[in-house]
Amino acid sequence: MASVEGSRTPARSRRDPERRAPRQDKYSVLLPTYNERENLPLIVWLLVKSFSESGLNYEIIIIDDGSPDGTKDVAEQLEKIYGSDKILLRPREKKLGLGTAYIHGLKHATGNYIVIMDADLSHHPRFIPEFIRKQKEGNFDIVSGTRYRGNGGVYGWDLKRKLISRGANFLTQILLRPGASDLTGSFRLYKKEVLQTLIEKCISKGYVFQMEMIVRARQLNYTVGEVPISFVDRVYGESKLGGNEIVSFLKGLLTLFATT
Ligand code: GDD
Ligand code: MN
């Protein structure tokens, strides 16, 4: 038995296209920006550093929504510095929301894995190698950064903001039982085809998008791995989360509760 296997294996793997032309994994980072002029150069530098040091193949896609602060000009400079194969600026005319920014960015992604994260340094690129390790460990469809498990945490938020986030997670856990610990976080790694399938099913446009994605992922039986992350509140600029986003979150939550 062992000898049969032994003699067959080399012949089979020689014919295997994966062996002749091994496909290298490529990671496409989607970076949505709205008024992130001060943060963008630093986050891009950290990303480039982290990916180069780990010898990974990557691209960074910047989706700027017509930021009045000139973020787009900064992105153009970065494209020149690092090369247009590494930094891809794919802007839109005006502020159309976080959810649709990812949809737009995904259309331009050439990687087989997609990383989504904030551009304001709240999500540190040093966690990305951990996401990748986790993904490989269980061949997970999604790896989600979590602030609410293990060593994860939030730094710099006031009580009001903490309550909003905890409240949103708590309500969703009760109503939808999605079985992940951080439902509203937006630091995640997806297999590209998984993200594509999920995005087609998602109806929300704003911040509630993250929650809908993870809820739908569970419904479709995708596997989710979690990595504890620390979320550090931004130093430069302001959060775009306002009352409108909270209302859309509640609407989205109730819609999902009623329809799924
Ligand atoms: N292109 C585009 N269009 N980008 C946007 C838009 C938009 O309409 N709105 C926000 N962004 C970008 C910001 O520039 C930033 O890079 C990222 O999306 C997150 O926006 P913030 O305004 O910094 O969000 P936050 O810090 O209040 O919220 C964080 O925590 C939430 C709750 O956990 C984010 O991680 C949210 O995604 C998360 O839901
Ligand atoms: Mn932020």
Average pLDDT, integer, range 238-245: 84
Question: Which pairs count as long-range contacts for 5-11, CB under 8 Å and 24+ apart, including other chains?
Answer: none
Q: What is the pLDDT of residues 199-222, one digit of tens each?
A: 988 888 777 888 999 999 988 999
Locate 141 and state its tokens: 């469809």
**Sorting pLDDT into bands at 50, 70 and 90, what band is 169?**
confident
Per-residue pLDDT tens over the stretch 72-124: 999 999 999 999 999 999 999 999 988 899 999 999 999 999 999 999 999 99
> Which pLDDT value is given to residue 25?
96
* CA distances, 230 to each of 123, 125, 185, 240 (Å): 7, 11, 11, 20
> Domains of the chain by range and CATH?
23-259 (3.90.550.10)
Give nearest CA residue, ligand 1 atom 9: 98
Nearest to 175 by CA among 245, 244, 246, 255: 255
Residues, beta carbon < 5 Å, ion ligand 2 = 120, 122, 234
- For 69-73, 128-132, 174-178, 190-194, which range has the lowest pLDDT when averaged over its residues? 174-178
Q: Is 33 in the pocket of ligand 1 (CB under 6 A)?
A: yes
Both tokens of 25, joined, read: 């994994």
Q: Whose CA is nearest to atom 17 of ligand 1?
A: 118
The pTM for the full model equals 0.89
Neighbour-count burial for 7-28, b at 16+ CB within 10 Å, e otherwise: eeeeeeeeeeeeeeeeeeebbb
Question: Could you tell me if the CB of 97 is within 6 A of ligand 1?
Answer: yes
Average pLDDT, the chain: 89
